Amino acid sequence: MLKIFDANRDRELLNDFISNLSIRTFNQGNDVAETVASIIENVKENGDKAVIEYTRKFDCPLYTEEDMQVKEEEISKAYDMIDRELLGVIRRAKSNIEKFHVSQVEKSWFSAGEDGTILGQMINPIEVVGVYVPGGTAPLISSVLMNIVPAKVAGVRKIIMATPPDKNGKVNPAILVAAREAGADEIYRIGGAQAIAAMAFGTGTVPKVDKIAGPGNIYVSTAKRLVYGYCDIDMFAGPSEITVIADETAKPEFVAADLLSQAEHDALASAILITVVPEMAEKVKKEVERQYLQLERKDIIKRALDEYGAIIIAENIEQAVFLANRIAPEHLELCVKEPFGLLGYIKNAGAVFLGNYSSEPAGDYYAGPSHVLPTTGTARFFSPLNVSDFLKKTSVISYSRQALHRDKDDIIRFAEAEKLSAHANAIRVRFGGSKDREEKFGKDKDSGGDENI
């Protein structure tokens, strides 16, 4: 299942493999984009009617307009349906996520100069945010918390959540409980590209949002790309991925388990080991093949590892770090003797896990940082979902007459260099007139030297 590359001998094959990682979500053909575009246009034009049509087709045949918004009664019943221990876990995880993100909150600031200039930045939360949570065979309870809690900490006024119903029109009760615990204001029983379109444009029932966050399949991801600009989105996320750098101190059974934990997400998921110890490569490969047989999602795991799984044998730790930075993985584990010593050399990763006991699932569920992370190499320029994603920054500029008089000639020269005479005139008129007036009558007395300030 796992291909083995020697970083020096198999350089060309390795280059092809790494290049393919960054484009694997875009190799799905034009059919997906065309289908999603037609769904978006239909929802944009026909609102609730289109949403009901698609939900009946893809999810629940007996779906009606009454089913769109989850009622308070159903959320209350969900609390009775879930295990008490799971409820405690949800609440403790929420607390960890909240504590981590509170430290990210930014404040407005202002700076006053002696000449009367005041410059600053106002920070305000986004008004309305939509969060998408997939349905399917694996209810992503953790995604509810990881998307909603940072928005709540940021102070977003209204948070709505969309998640698909099952064929009987039901939503997993743990999803509903997690949404209520995290702070969702409204929950809608809608899935797929139609849910993204409904939140982006609004319908008779679903409010229009300013930003959409949350994971999804290729149809959901494509829909988010297509509505970007009508509203904001969190990031262009792809399938899950993990890279592990391991030396002789790594535990092969631990590394194998963590690689498998990401491969079970999706057939497009990527799991890579980079090691400086050839013996470690063989041990991990054997462990993967042994543990794989005990797991439930074997078909998905095999497809992922066959296509996007690899073990890379590096010449030294410097080459291992170079390759990891080039891959720019969503999750990077440093299973080495001195992980903190290596941390400063890591430039591109969504989240870094240090040491043999910092297992990636701890970050997925519980540690605190959001598990919404950049994928497919976008950690080179994207950051994890955080409080700042739900805040808007507004610049503030206040000039006194004295301050503008000091800078006016420079501003006018800039405007004239760009051949924007109206810009220049907007400054001149504040000191006695336009350019034509100056040429005809000379400079106004009031626009002279500092004695007039």
Tell me which residues are annotated as active site: 330-331
Q: Could you give the residue ranges of the DSSP H alpha helices within 298-356?
A: 298-308, 317-327, 339-343
Q: What is the DSSP string of 242-257?
A: EEEEE-TTS-HHHHHH
Task: End-to-end CA distance of the chain: give it in Å, rounded.
Answer: 78
CB atoms within 10 A of CB 193: 29
Angle formed at CA 240 by CA 235 and CA 242, multiple of 5 degrees: 120
Distance CA 57, CA 191 (A): 11
Q: Would you say 301 and 264 are in contact if contact means Cβ atoms under 8 Å apart? A: yes
Q: Which of 418, 399, 398, 416 is nearest to 407 (CA)?
A: 399
Q: Could you give the residue ranges of the DSSP H alpha helices within 202-315?
A: 218-227, 252-263, 278-292, 298-308
Distance CA 69, CA 162 (A): 9
Q: Would you say 268 and 25 are in contact if contact means Cβ atoms under 8 Å apart? A: yes
Backbone angles phi, psi at 376, to 5 degrees: 45, 40
CA distances from 60 to 52, 55, 69, 382 (A): 9, 6, 14, 36
